[in-house]
Amino acid sequence: MSTKYTKEHEWIVVDGDIATVGITNYAQEQLGDVVFVEVPDAGKQLSQGDEAAVVESVKAASEIYAPITGEVTAGNPALEDAPATINSDAESAGWIFKMTISDASELDDMMDAADYKTHVAGLE
């Protein structure tokens, strides 16, 4: 199991042929208090870059894009009643959706934890 990161501040944990997707702690800090999350339904087909979810905070509504191509297997049901989970635990309990991996090579260009840390430091 390894964690990958995108420039759009998403994290992807790969477990077998299923990827779990969420936004990073840095992203939730930037968004501020999250008040609503729209998660995708299981069965939704996504191409890399498609709009997959919406995270609405007191500052802005932000689309979450599919980091890879695949089919949604689950949205996080806990976020409907407790959107703040993204603020309190962005990189674990605050996962947004799980999806299948159609093309594992799409993960190749993504950053690992160290690279992402450098990427974020460069944004300050």
Partner 1 sequence: MADTQSTITGNRGLQLEEPLIFEQDSPGRVGVDFPDTDLSDNRLGGLERQGPVGLPNLSEPQTVRHYTRISQKNYGIDSGFYPLGSCTMKHNPRVNEKLARLPGFASLHPMQPTSTTQGALELMDTCAHWLKVICNMPAIAMSPAAGAQGELCGMMAIKAALEDRGEGAQRTRVLVPESAHGTNPATAAACGYSVDSIPANDRGRVDLDAFLSKLDEDVAGIMLTNPNTCGLFENDIIKIADAVHDAGAFFYCDGANLNAIMGRIRPGDLGIDCMHINLHKTFSTPHGGGGPGAGPVVLSEPLAAFAPLPFVVHGENGFDLVEHKSGAGKKSYGRIKGFHGQMGMFIRALGYMMSHGSDGLRQASSDAVLNANYLLAELKDTLSPSFDGPCMHECLFDDHFLKDTDVSTLDFAKAMIDEGFHPMTMYFPLVVHGALLMEPTESESRETLDQYIHAVKGLTARAKSGDAKYFHDAPQLTPRRRLDETGAARNPILRWAPGGDEEKS
Could you list the residues that contact partner 1 (CB under 8 A)? 33, 35-36, 58-60, 83-84
Cβ of residue 14: shortest distance to partner 1, in angstroms? 28
Nearer to partner 1, 114 or 123 (CB): 123
Q: Considering only CA atoms, which of 68, 73, 93, 69 is closest in space to residue 83?
A: 93
Cβ of residue 60: shortest distance to partner 1, in angstroms? 6
Which residue has 């980091």 as its token pair? Answer: 67
Alpha carbon separation from 105 to 16, 67, 69, 101 (Å, rounded): 14, 12, 10, 9
How many Å apart are CA 95 and CA 29, to the nearest integer?
Answer: 15
Cβ of residue 45: shortest distance to partner 1, in angstroms? 16
Nearer to partner 1, 15 or 63 (CB): 63
Nearer to partner 1, 50 or 112 (CB): 50
